[in-house]
Amino acid sequence: MKPIPLARVVSSCFAIATLALASAAFADDVSFGHDQLCGLQTARPDRNAAVQVKTVQGRNGPIGYARFGRGTPLLLITGYRATLGEWNAYFLGELAKHHDVIVFDNRGVGRSAIVEGRFGPDYGVRDMAADAADVIAGLKLQRADVVGWSMGGMIAQQLALDAREKVASLTLIATAPPGPQAVPLTPEVQQVLSSSGADAFGKIMGVLFPADAVADASKCFVGDMFAPRDYKGRPVPDAVAAQQNQAMTRWFADSAAAAALRRSPMRTLIIAGANDEVLADANARRLEQMIPRARLDVVVDAGHALMFQYPIELARHIDAFVSK
């Protein structure tokens, strides 16, 4: 696939038209400078032996989570075929300077093992959002700022709709809106993300990062993953991956969720990579138009896995929004 062109700065005419429609949303291009893929000399929480993966009881079984940092609660929801270990450790460390960071495994993944007879054989984005709400409740948090990446951004949107009182703000990274206005993954990209075998890693790096960042990303990706002591992110079962894929397919047809988002009062930051080959930045622009209190920032020269490409700057960007 050809790289998606760099996003254009929103013109004043567009801004005036947006205001005329009584929308608080605005968009801008942002640059995080040079890629920070390797050689970071900063804190990472998984070097602390006290940071361990525990479980909290959800309505459908145990949910694996890790918690660290100090400050306001920040719940991160990860994406397709990802465990909590797929977050960049330096990104999490930067967030933990000002926040009580919570990461967790989606159902059927990692420590959130399927409990026979309790997990339904068929579940969707709403069910996974209910799991996220159970994490907030199980940790006895009144509410949390919520960050969702990729499929996790879809779950975060549904969480904000179904449990609005638990969500202080919403940050959506490289994700897509519900309903037919979304631009779904292409079959080719879906096949790459679902691949396994000796050559799968290289192919996946090729769609997660812009072409000029793939080499460094391939060297750094595994070493920079969040790896708390005694946690092994087991391979995601094929049945779980298939169920997640089906959940996203349904999300792209969910007109009711799209209509509800148009009425959402949630303060929302949308962050997209201008060169995202997984979920095109057109999705971010449609999300901005859909959510009344949304702000959109398109990161130039960034792909789908922004937290690995720019871990420190992305964390600071999110913190600036959340802390307002």
| Spatial distance between the Cα atoms of 55 and 309, rounded to a whole number of angstroms | 30
| Spatial distance between the Cα atoms of 213 and 143, rounded to a whole number of angstroms | 37
How do residues 104-116 score in pLDDT, each as one tens digit?
Answer: 999 999 999 766 5
pLDDT at 67 over 90: yes
Three-state helix/strand/coil letters over 241-306:
HHHHHHHHHHHCCCHHHHHHHCCCCCCEEEEEECCCCCCCCHHHHHHHHHCCCEEEEEECCCCCCH
Does residue 49 belong to any structural domain of this protein? yes
In the three-class reduction of DSSP (H, G, I as helix; E, B as strand; rest coil), residue 186 is classed as: coil
Q: What is the pLDDT of residue 112?
A: 93
Q: DSSP secondary-structure letter at 59? A: T
| Spatial distance between the Cα atoms of 17 and 15, rounded to a whole number of angstroms | 5
Residue 121: pLDDT band (50, 70, 90) is low
Q: Which of 39, 81, 2, 32 is nearest to 216 (CA)?
A: 39
Q: What is the pLDDT of residue 114?
A: 67
In the three-class reduction of DSSP (H, G, I as helix; E, B as strand; rest coil), residue 236 is classed as: coil
Does residue 33 belong to any structural domain of this protein? yes
Q: DSSP secondary-structure letter at 12? A: H
User: Domain with 32 in it: what CATH number?
Assistant: 3.40.50.1820
pLDDT at 296 over 50: yes
Lowest-confidence segment of 7-21, 227-241, 244-258 by average pLDDT:
7-21
Show Cβ contacts of residue 181 under 8 Å, excluding neighbours closer than 6 positions. 258, 286, 290
189-193 average pLDDT score: 95
Residue 16: pLDDT band (50, 70, 90) is very low
Does residue 112 belong to any structural domain of this protein? yes
Strand spans (E) along the chain: 26-30, 54-58, 61-69, 72-77, 99-104, 144-149, 167-173, 268-273, 294-299
Does residue 223 belong to any structural domain of this protein? yes
Strand spans (E) along 31-143: 54-58, 61-69, 72-77, 99-104
pLDDT at 172 over 90: yes
- Cα distances from 134 to residues 108, 121, 130, 150, 275, in angstroms, run 15, 19, 6, 20, 34
Does residue 6 belong to any structural domain of this protein? no
Average pLDDT taken over every residue of the chain: 89
242-251 average pLDDT score: 96
* Residue range of the domain that includes 34: 12-322
Does residue 23 belong to any structural domain of this protein? yes
% pLDDT > 90, the chain: 79
pLDDT at 266 over 80: yes
Question: Are the beta carbons of 179 and 289 closer than 8 angstroms?
Answer: no
Phi-psi region of 64 (alpha: psi -120 to 50; beta: other; left: phi over 0): beta
Does residue 3 belong to any structural domain of this protein? no
Does residue 1 belong to any structural domain of this protein? no
Q: What is the pLDDT of residue 24?
A: 37
| Spatial distance between the Cα atoms of 231 and 53, rounded to a whole number of angstroms | 7
pLDDT at 1 over 50: no
Dmax over CA atoms of the chain, in Å, equals: 56
Please indicate whether residue 116 or residue 3 has the higher confidence score (pLDDT).
116
pLDDT at 7 over 80: no
Q: Identify any residues that bridge with 297 across adjacent strands, giving them in sequence order.
A: 28, 271
Q: What is the pLDDT of residue 78?
A: 98
| Spatial distance between the Cα atoms of 68 and 45, rounded to a whole number of angstroms | 7
How many folded domains does the chain comprise?
A: 1
Please indicate whether residue 43 or residue 234 has the higher confidence score (pLDDT).
43
| Spatial distance between the Cα atoms of 88 and 156, rounded to a whole number of angstroms | 19
